[in-house]
Amino acid sequence: MSQLGNLDQWFEGRSAVVTGGAGGMGRAIALAFAAAGCRVTLSDVADAGGEETARLVRDAGGTAQFVHADVSQNADVEAMVEAAVSTYGGLDFAVNAAAIEFEVDFLADLAEDDWDRMLDVNLKSVFLSMKHEINAMLSSGGGAIVNIASTNSYRPQPHQSAYTASKFGVLGLTKSAAVDYAPRGVRINAICPGSIDTPMLRGAMAKRGRDPQEVADRLSLIGRFGTVDEIAAAALWLCSGASAFTIGHALAVDGGYLSR
């Protein structure tokens, strides 16, 4: 008889943090963790969208609070984790999804300020988030963290040097933190999304004047974009006890793009 049972058994009454929760994948992840029974602290710099996500959770019968936090700022990230611990009694799970993507130039034309901003929001943020999340998890007996990387962590798209460097870095941080903390009960993995239908993807295609179906055909084996719920399902599994032996892994959810 299988011991796996229903995934929800791992989540009822537990505390989860989701960064970038105002929209896109972060919103879907916050909704999925809340639907599985978690009490969710979601953060973002976009206050209206973040409050809207918290309202959507509550309307569906779940529990959530929104905290304004710029993930590139240590004090904001520390306050976000403190809010989860003080309101919901600890921290069990975290999904670090916040990021930006705005490049259209070749590397030699990229402004230094843009490089700094991209690396601060996409990579330093993951260091800061894990730093505070791990400390909170260690003091409440362990936990699980999922960092959202990208298929760019393996195969860059054109004109995305800073974004690609940041996402390679997210994998490095994920794996080194996994090595350090697995023996202490904090399990750390990454998801590498392919082309997922979110405001970030739609914005990137619009900036480059790309036809969505041409992009979907080129960047997946099945001619469509992924959905935010397909990423949320992977994040839930990676935080559940069903993946207890999966550590330091980068899970591609990419319609087969990286297998080609």
Ligand X SMILES: NC(=O)c1ccc[n+]([C@@H]2O[C@H](COP(=O)([O-])OP(=O)(O)OC[C@H]3O[C@@H](n4cnc5c(N)ncnc54)[C@H](O)[C@@H]3O)[C@@H](O)[C@H]2O)c1
Residues that bind ligand X in the complex, under the rule CB under 6 A = 19-20, 22-26, 44-46, 49, 70-72, 97-101, 121, 148, 150, 193, 195-196, 198-201
- Pick between residue 122 and residue 240 the one whose CB is nearest to ligand X: 122
- Pick between residue 52 and residue 241 the one whose CB is nearest to ligand X: 52
Backbone angles phi, psi at 49, to 5 degrees: -65, -35
Least separation, in Å, of the C-beta of 212 and ligand X? 12
What residue is closest to ligand X based on CB?
Answer: 24
Least separation, in Å, of the C-beta of 9 and ligand X? 27
- Cα 86 from Cα 120, distance rounded (Å): 27
Instruction: Say whether 163 is catalytic.
Output: yes
- Cα 195 from Cα 220, distance rounded (Å): 8
Active-site option among 88, 163, 181, 257: 163
CA distances from 100 to 52, 79, 118, 156, 212 (A): 20, 21, 7, 16, 20
Comparing CA positions, the residue from 170, 168, 163, 171 lying closest to residue 107 is 163
- Cα 250 from Cα 188, distance rounded (Å): 10
Least separation, in Å, of the C-beta of 244 and ligand X? 25
Residue numbers annotated as active site: 163
